[in-house]
């Protein structure tokens, strides 16, 4: 499974606790009164950490880590939680890999022990590796048949050309077939060190009891590697690319570099991105292009912050003959946001809409567990919901216009278009 980060804000209601285990592993936990609990391992390692000739390796590790441990077969790994109604899953992004579980609260120990067994004692059987290559190749075909998904990965390759951030998460047919067991073991050894992981939990268990469980199953491990240095992205050159596709619809993505994960301007830019083309039907792009003109079925704006850079993009799915008109309307909306301050009530409701979406997203406790865990990978503290609300409420029109002018620069935009046109 691959994941994209568009606009995400990381918040959590009190109380939550950040604990350091005896071996240095960070644990973050929020206690909630719920029959369902969630526990995961978040690893600060993704596709940008692969060698160039092993594209797709991080994602392939995610697939094969479940295929057996020193004491369990692959089927026993799967059944350990599923037999009691739980769920075991994983996902890979450019910079992180997640292994996570959802389960009935009385099965906390079962979940913690299982993830520990998988993380520290996976055996990666040769036979299973060869079978899983076929599975991943089918996954690649699925994305190739889904242009509305594929175009985001290929747009990143346009923007981050010849840099690890531009690598396709799944890899390609050649790179996947070239992966061997030694490649997997070496990647895990180099990247899955204790300083690169966070244990994250949202569930109905006391912090003291969970800490004891994590000490038992994780605290005795002593894997320490040298600090890793990622190759920072630099030298961005805007590029426009067009590819003919045998599809009925034309798909287009255009955008520019944006703020990294640690930049304070990230929050006002998230608000601006949501106002421009977020989840609501009342976004500026949706109203200008779909509701008023009927020119596109889908139009959205996305923002993906990484550790050293970020990516802003706009996606449009429309008829080939209306693409130019859609792009012109898009650029007009961007210019308005650069020059015209929002009205008092417009800014007020933009904040309220954004905060409402954040709160609703955090109602899904699995999402919250992953969100607070990802934040804990990079920061010593995790914002409370109240702190996030305060920060968003303080955003001014001056900040909105400032980030709009810094990112919405037409001559700095790259684009990728899949031209369709089937009758």
Give the span between the Cα atoms of 13 and 410, in whole angstroms: 39
Give the span between the Cα atoms of 92 and 90, in whole angstroms: 7
Q: Is the peptide bond before 344 cis (omega within 30 degrees of 0)?
A: no
Closest to 90 in 3D by CA, of 31, 145, 46, 54 = 46
Give the span between the Cα atoms of 346 and 342, in whole angstroms: 6
Give the span between the Cα atoms of 269 and 276, in whole angstroms: 10
The confidence score (pLDDT) of residue 179 equals: 96
Give the span between the Cα atoms of 137 and 101, in whole angstroms: 25
Model confidence band, residue 6 (pLDDT cutoffs 50, 70, 90): very low
**pLDDT tens column, 304-354:** 999 999 999 999 999 999 999 999 999 999 999 999 999 999 999 999 999
DSSP E strands, 162-209: 197-203
Give the span between the Cα atoms of 201 and 115, in whole angstroms: 12
Q: Contact 99/65 with Cβ under 8 angstroms?
A: yes
Neighbours of 115 (CB within 10 A): 21
Model confidence band, residue 361 (pLDDT cutoffs 50, 70, 90): confident
∠ CA 356-94-254, nearest 5°, is: 70
Examine the pLDDT at 5 and tell me if it is beyond 50. Answer: no
Considering the entire predicted model, what is its pTM? 0.91
Model confidence band, residue 20 (pLDDT cutoffs 50, 70, 90): very high
Percentage of the chain modeled with pLDDT above 90: 81
What mean pLDDT do residues 393-417 have?
97
The confidence score (pLDDT) of residue 4 equals: 39
**pLDDT tens column, 82-127:** 999 999 999 999 999 999 999 999 999 999 999 999 999 999 999 9
Q: Of 45-59, 171-185, 267-281, 350-364, give the lowest mean pLDDT range.
A: 350-364
Give the span between the Cα atoms of 122 and 119, in whole angstroms: 6
DSSP E strands, 86-184: 87-92, 97-104
**pLDDT tens column, 222-276:** 766 666 788 899 999 999 999 999 899 999 999 999 999 999 999 999 999 999 9
* Residue 295 C-alpha from the chain's centroid: 30
Examine the pLDDT at 422 and tell me if it is beyond 50. Answer: yes
Give the span between the Cα atoms of 185 and 187, in whole angstroms: 6
What mean pLDDT do residues 384-388 have?
77
Give the span between the Cα atoms of 52 and 50, in whole angstroms: 6
What mean pLDDT do residues 358-386 have?
84
The confidence score (pLDDT) of residue 12 equals: 44
Bridge-based pairing of strands 36-43 and 197-203 is: antiparallel
- Residue 408 burial by Cβ neighbours in a 10 Å radius (0-12, 13-18, 19+): buried
Give the span between the Cα atoms of 131 and 172, in whole angstroms: 16
Identify the bridge partners of residue 241 per DSSP, sorted by sequence position: 416
Give the span between the Cα atoms of 138 and 200, in whole angstroms: 31
Q: Please report which helix (H) or strand (E) contains residue 40, including its range.
A: strand 36-43
b/e for 44-77, b at 16 or more Cβ within 10 A? bbbbbbbeeebbbbbbbbbbbbbbbbeebebeeb
Q: What are phi and psi of 319, to 5 degrees?
A: -70, 145
Q: What are phi and psi of 63, to 5 degrees?
A: -70, -45
Give the span between the Cα atoms of 158 and 391, in whole angstroms: 34
Give the span between the Cα atoms of 72 and 61, in whole angstroms: 17
């Amino acid at each position: 499974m691959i994941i994209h980060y568009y606009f995400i804000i990381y918040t959590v209601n009190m109380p939550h606790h950040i604990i350091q285990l005896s071996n240095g592993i960070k644990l973050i936990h929020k206690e909630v009164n719920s029959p369902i609990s969630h526990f995961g391992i978040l690893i600060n390692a993704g596709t940008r950490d692969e060698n160039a000739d092993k594209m797709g390796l991080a994602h392939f590790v995610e697939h094969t880590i479940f295929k057996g441990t020193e004491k369990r077969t692959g089927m026993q790994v799967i059944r350990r939680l599923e037999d009691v109604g739980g769920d075991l899953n994983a996902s890979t992004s450019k910079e992180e890999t997640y292994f996570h579980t959802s389960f009935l609260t009385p099965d906390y120990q079962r979940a913690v022990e299982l993830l520990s067994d998988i993380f520290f004692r996976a055996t990666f059987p040769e036979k299973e590796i060869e079978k899983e290559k076929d599975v991943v190749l089918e996954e690649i075909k699925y994305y190739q048949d889904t242009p509305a998904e594929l175009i985001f990965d290929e747009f990143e390759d346009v923007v981050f050309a010849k840099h690890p951030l531009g690598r396709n998460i799944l890899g390609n047919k050649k790179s996947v077939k070239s992966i061997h067991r030694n490649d997997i073991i070496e990647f895990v050894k180099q990247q899955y060190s204790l300083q690169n992981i966070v244990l994250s939990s949202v569930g109905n268990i006391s912090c003291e009891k969970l800490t004891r469980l994590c000490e038992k199953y994780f605290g005795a491990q002593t894997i320490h590697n040298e600090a890793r240095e990622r190759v920072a992205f630099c030298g961005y050159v805007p590029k426009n690319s067009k590819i003919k596709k045998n599809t009925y619809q034309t798909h287009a993505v255009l955008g520019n570099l944006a703020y990294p994960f640690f930049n304070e301007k990230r929050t006002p830019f998230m608000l601006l991105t949501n106002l421009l083309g977020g989840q609501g039907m009342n976004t500026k792009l949706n109203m200008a292009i779909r509701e008023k003109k009927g020119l596109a079925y889908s139009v959205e704006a996305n923002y993906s912050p990484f550790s050293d850079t970020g990516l802003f993009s706009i996606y449009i799915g429309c008829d080939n003959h209306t693409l130019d008109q859609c792009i012109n309307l898009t650029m007009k909306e961007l210019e308005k946001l650069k020059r015209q301050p929002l009205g008092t009530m417009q800014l007020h409701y933009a904040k309220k809409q954004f905060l409402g979406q954040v709160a609703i997203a955090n109602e899904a406790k699995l999402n919250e567990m992953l969100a607070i865990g990802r934040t804990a990978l990079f920061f010593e503290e995790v914002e409370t919901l109240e702190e996030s609300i305060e920060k968003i409420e303080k955003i001014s029109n001056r900040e909105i216009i400032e980030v709009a002018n810094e990112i919405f620069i037409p001559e700095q935009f790259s684009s990728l278009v899949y031209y369709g046109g089937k009758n």
